[in-house]
Structure 1
Amino acid sequence: MENLKEFVSTQNFSSVINKIKQCLKQQDLVELNIGVTGESGSGKSSFVNAIRGLGDDDEGSAETGVVETTMKPEVYLHPKYKHVKLWDLPGIGTPNFKAEQYLTKVKFESYDFFIIIASDRFKQCHATLAKDIERMGKKFYFVRSKIDLSISAEKNKKSFVLEKTLDSIQKDCENGLRKAGIEEPVVFLISRSEFGKYDFDKLHMRMEEELPKHKRRVLLLSLPNITKEINEKKKKALEENIKYVALLSACAAAVPVPGLSIAVDLSIIAVELKKYYSAFDLDDPSLQLISERSGKTVEELKSLMKSPLRHGINHPTIIAMLSNSVMAMVLHAAGYVLKYIPIIGSVAAGTTSFCTVTKMLKKALNDIVEDAEQMLTVLLKTEV
């Protein structure tokens, strides 16, 4: 933003437009590689599918089974964010398993971090691999999978208490890792059938904290919408770009070329709104998946939504939304813009455009988040 202010101060608006477009494009090209490993049958492939928002039987899902189905690293692209790559790695724990050889074989340097999965107790092979990963300067996360099965096995006991059972499982896993040489192990409890429950929020928060900021954003947007916490974080991440999109509109409005401002507005706003719908799983392919899982038709799902864009993102609808934002922003336009770009604040056309687009995108994003909450409620009712 500071660099852009320098361009604006010289009224070099064409440079601002090009710079913003370049930055927004680069955001979508950030690559993230996640290696998922563990023993055969631990649920590696199911985890790869779940974190991509897919069921085990959906098109493009990783093959699952009770025996090892992964003989070499298999890459699975995120269905929406093609630069997010989940790698289903060969199973560990065989008699010939050597951690250093394994890491060389799976091209260790290719991954941003590793998920190490166990469906029961963690063993020496898990700890050995983790220590070698750490020694090579990469991050890893221990995931105890199939928690739903463990809970089902305990439910018939008179002394069953869910919280105590979860605490017992976690402590057992962590104690096993300590005995294997991991000083301060942290284990996340995950269920494939109830992916949003248990420790998934803790896991993704930990991953976000330890990633560089530009990769943190792409990880967050690629996560399936299975908790309100994820939705709120996505909203904040997308809100950060609104000022850049609005500035792009403002600079276009300040350039004396007839029709340029509205052309830029409609084009960039349409792209941004499509990003919102995709990030919150409200695009048509995502709604079709929700329909299949919930038993409701896509039309029934759309009837629960309030966004005026629920029937399609098109120019007439965008123009109507911009028009509604104009009157609401007039009273506080100048002060609002001056907080961001003092020079633009002196340009009437730029001021109007900046404020209108800002208000319109914030309103649209809020509506879309509310719609995403409705879809989450539908899925939760279906699971119950």
Structure 2
Amino acid sequence: MAEQCKENIQTAQENNDQTAAKEAQEYEEITLNIAITGESGVGKSTLVNALRGIRNKTEGAAPTGVTVTTMKPTEYIHPKNKNIRIWDLPGVGTINFPADKYLEDVEFKKYDFFIIVSNDRFRENDAKLAKEIQKMNKKFYFVRSNIDRNIQDEKMEDSNFNEEDYLKLIRDDCSKELQKMGFESPRVFLVSGLHLYDFKDLWKTLEAELGIIMADHFEEEFKTAIDNGDLSTAAEKTQEYLNKLNNVPVNIAITGEGGSGKSTLVNALRGIKNGTEGAAPTDVVETTTEPKEYKHPQNDNIRIWDLPGIGTTTFTAEKYIKMMEFEKYDFFIIVSSDRFRENDAKLAKEIQTMNKKFYFVRSKIDNNIRDAKDDHPNVNEDKVLESIKNNCTEGNMFTLNLAHILFKLILLTDFYAELQKLGCESPKVFLVSGKKLHLYKSEDLWKTLEADLPKLQRDALLLALPNISLDVIQQKKETLGSIIIWLTVASVAGATAPVPGLSGCVDLGMIVGFTIHCATSLGLTPELLQKLSDVSDVPLQDLKAELKSPLAGVKITSALVLQVLTRSAAYIAATTVEEGARFVPVIGTVVAMSLSGATTYAALKYILNTLAEDTQRVFIKALGLNTLV
């Protein structure tokens, strides 16, 4: 992440973009402070070294020993990412640091989150630490150390020892201990100085926290300005946040063997039909000879990369990974049109070594259905789809329903077993169907992406992708709704104009911009409705017949927005009449707005709600359903 920030700064400076360079520099300087705490002698310093990739007793390592070596909070900067600061705290419960004074002495408030280490059972001091951290509304994780020693002792006593069963036993035992202490769902990681065990999962959790904290950095400064009554600074911080949201890059790599349908998936993710203007070329021969970048039509910062097929004469598996510069992509989709093969497994394992996310897509299932119909003319496709849906509930399988814009995909029943045989323990699989979309659920996929991607990237990708289900439309609405808060505060310090029928003035230019953003994100611009008509085979006029808002399916102008606000003035004004409506919720607090601010807030909510309702109706029409359920 730090390397990406440096690249952004360098690019901005080369382009003489001082503002962008300054913003990138500020983003890079946001730090993650991790506190390693627990009782004395439990292996805190060893964990500090492990997290930094440094062996004990080597240059730069935190000191370890049988005696107490940490006498004050000591900062260790991660050698590969200066944003990550790991703090080795003194052991709680020693003579120098008794439990009742520990929290004050080590300045707990300055750390972003905490790792509480124990080499045996978690004890009363550990519970005290965790409960104090909870009071500060900060995150903490439990680490059980010295696991290698426990395993070694157990092996000597039990000739039938099973390591996997034993590790599960320790996890369960630790969880039960902590639950008795009052912690409902404790996160426990098993680590040691010699073996990985849960170390990879722990590190991935820390990396995810860095992304969240960088996004939350602006919210903290914003709240400070609000608390001080400084709306001008709050508006400035709002603009910084919105700039980050509008400019966060997402690089998605579509890879797999040649001829597997990668380019078709690239087009589907961009909401474009094969063979139309701007589409990635598709053919019976391999058409992709070098990594090809396709910007998303709704967001230039989302780049979908169509990579050449692996395993062809041009790109052997051995050379492929180096030539494709895998490190520059945020996550990967591995496509296969038949069984997953050794080359797919090689790709997945290489991606794993870079601690990046990957997903599997099984393509061209329509060919299998056609063959099945030839062999069995009386086959009922609806029953086949329903049967497959019911049989694909295990193995961390996820569905991606792209509303008649992705090609038809149905998973063969032995698909998950194939990937396991190739060494992929828990593969995540996209089940994509361009038909009978309502038979599948996509919310599990989005829950996964929510965990896999930093907040800003997740929101940007969500708003750019096609509408794939009613649940995703609702998530888009909620994300757009969160932006309303920021825009309302920013508008208070900006220029305003009166609207006939409304008591307060509003920032008309800002409202127009938000309306365009909503229409684009929800797929209601004239161009996006036409694309939906093309790929769903539903006439454009039939889709437009579902529209109720005068802001949907048309070119949005200041005059049109003003006209709509004027016509809806009575409804908008009714929501701002009561005194309670003048207090707008903003990131865990409330802001007493002027009548102008409350009016702006109500106007934006009205526009979003009406457009979101239209989106649901259009989606239902495109699927050929009769109900919103």
Q: Same fold (TM over 0.5)?
A: yes
Using the TM superposition, name which of 10-19 and 21-30 deviates more. 10-19
Residues 252/283 of structure 1: CA separation in 2 closer, same or farther (3 Å cut) = same
Whether the aligned pair in 2 keeps the contact of 1:145 and 1:191 (CA below 8 Å) is no
Matches within 5 A, 1:240-319: 240-252=482-494, 265-293=507-535, 294=537, 296-297=539-540, 301-310=543-552, 311=554, 312-315=556-559, 316-317=562-563, 319=565
Residue 241 of structure 2 is aligned with which of 23, 29, 34? 23
Residues 195/102 of structure 1: CA separation in 2 closer, same or farther (3 Å cut) = farther
1:209 and 2:451 correspond: yes
Deviation of 1:145 after TM superposition, in Å, equals 1.2
Residues 48/201 of structure 1: CA separation in 2 closer, same or farther (3 Å cut) = farther
| Aligned counterparts of 1:181 and 1:243: Cα–Cα separation in 2 | 47
Residue 264 of structure 2 is aligned with which of 46, 56, 78? 46
Matches within 5 A, 1:98-109: 99=317, 101-109=319-327
More strand by share: 2
Deviation of 1:87 after TM superposition, in Å, equals 0.4
Instruction: Tell me which amino acid in the other structure corresponds to 1:282.
Output: L
| Aligned counterparts of 2:441 and 2:574: Cα–Cα separation in 1 | 45
Deviation of 1:181 after TM superposition, in Å, equals 1.7
Q: Which runs of 5+ in 2 are unaligned?
A: 1-218, 393-410
| Aligned counterparts of 1:86 and 1:267: Cα–Cα separation in 2 | 32
Whether the aligned pair in 1 keeps the contact of 2:497 and 2:506 (CA below 8 Å) is no
Aligned residue in 2 for 1:365: 608
Whether the aligned pair in 1 keeps the contact of 2:576 and 2:602 (CA below 8 Å) is yes
Instruction: Tell me which amino acid in the other structure corresponds to 1:72.
Output: E
Residues 233/148 of structure 1: CA separation in 2 closer, same or farther (3 Å cut) = farther
Matches within 5 A, 1:68-217: 68-94=286-312, 99=317, 101-155=319-373, 156=376, 161-162=383-384, 163-165=386-388, 167=391, 169-191=411-433, 198=440, 202-217=444-459
Q: Helix, strand or coil for the counterpart of 2:343?
A: helix
Whether the aligned pair in 1 keeps the contact of 2:582 and 2:595 (CA below 8 Å) is no
Whether the aligned pair in 2 keeps the contact of 1:325 and 1:356 (CA below 8 Å) is yes
Report the TM-score, using the length of structure 2 for normalisation: 0.54
Q: Which has the higher contact order (CA 8 A, sep 6+)?
A: 1
Whether the aligned pair in 2 keeps the contact of 1:7 and 1:16 (CA below 8 Å) is yes
Deviation of 1:279 after TM superposition, in Å, equals 0.5
Residues 190/337 of structure 1: CA separation in 2 closer, same or farther (3 Å cut) = closer
Instruction: Tell me which amino acid in the other structure corresponds to 1:4.
Output: F
Residues 223/342 of structure 1: CA separation in 2 closer, same or farther (3 Å cut) = closer
Residues 66/31 of structure 1: CA separation in 2 closer, same or farther (3 Å cut) = same
Deviation of 1:235 after TM superposition, in Å, equals 0.8
1:378 and 2:624 correspond: no
Residues 376/352 of structure 1: CA separation in 2 closer, same or farther (3 Å cut) = same
Instruction: Tell me which amino acid in the other structure corresponds to 1:308.
Output: P
| Aligned counterparts of 2:262 and 2:438: Cα–Cα separation in 1 | 17
| Aligned counterparts of 1:183 and 1:18: Cα–Cα separation in 2 | 47
Whether the aligned pair in 1 keeps the contact of 2:256 and 2:334 (CA below 8 Å) is yes
Q: Helix, strand or coil for the counterpart of 2:507?
A: helix
Aligned residue in 1 for 2:471: 229
Aligned residue in 1 for 2:575: 328
Task: Note the alpha carbon deviations across 1:101-153, whole angstroms, 9 max, x for none.
Answer: 31211111110011001111111111111011101211110111123332343
Deviation of 1:91 after TM superposition, in Å, equals 0.5
Instruction: Tell me which amino acid in the other structure corresponds to 2:455.
Output: K
Aligned residue in 1 for 2:162: none
Deviation of 1:263 after TM superposition, in Å, equals 8.1
Instruction: Tell me which amino acid in the other structure corresponds to 1:57.
Output: G
Q: Helix, strand or coil for the counterpart of 1:241?
A: helix
Residues 205/150 of structure 1: CA separation in 2 closer, same or farther (3 Å cut) = farther
Report the TM-score, using the length of structure 1 for normalisation: 0.85
Residues 101/63 of structure 1: CA separation in 2 closer, same or farther (3 Å cut) = same
Q: Helix, strand or coil for the counterpart of 2:359?
A: strand
| Aligned counterparts of 1:279 and 1:295: Cα–Cα separation in 2 | 20
| Aligned counterparts of 2:465 and 2:427: Cα–Cα separation in 1 | 24
Deviation of 1:94 after TM superposition, in Å, equals 3.5
| Aligned counterparts of 1:132 and 1:175: Cα–Cα separation in 2 | 20
| Aligned counterparts of 2:330 and 2:619: Cα–Cα separation in 1 | 29
Q: Helix, strand or coil for the counterpart of 1:337?
A: strand
| Aligned counterparts of 2:421 and 2:543: Cα–Cα separation in 1 | 50
- Rg comparison, structure with higher value: 2
More helix by share: 1
Deviation of 1:288 after TM superposition, in Å, equals 2.5
Deviation of 1:267 after TM superposition, in Å, equals 1.2
Instruction: Tell me which amino acid in the other structure corresponds to 2:576.
Output: M
Using the TM superposition, name which of 13-22 and 206-215 deviates more. 13-22
Whether the aligned pair in 1 keeps the contact of 2:253 and 2:304 (CA below 8 Å) is yes
Whether the aligned pair in 1 keeps the contact of 2:291 and 2:307 (CA below 8 Å) is yes
Deviation of 1:7 after TM superposition, in Å, equals 2.4
Instruction: Tell me which amino acid in the other structure corresponds to 1:275.
Output: H
Whether the aligned pair in 1 keeps the contact of 2:296 and 2:302 (CA below 8 Å) is yes
Using the TM superposition, name which of 328-337 and 46-55 deviates more. 328-337
Instruction: Tell me which amino acid in the other structure corresponds to 1:67.
Output: V
Whether the aligned pair in 2 keeps the contact of 1:344 and 1:351 (CA below 8 Å) is no
Deviation of 1:83 after TM superposition, in Å, equals 0.6
Whether the aligned pair in 2 keeps the contact of 1:188 and 1:199 (CA below 8 Å) is no
Residue 7 of structure 1 is aligned with which of 225, 239, 250? 225
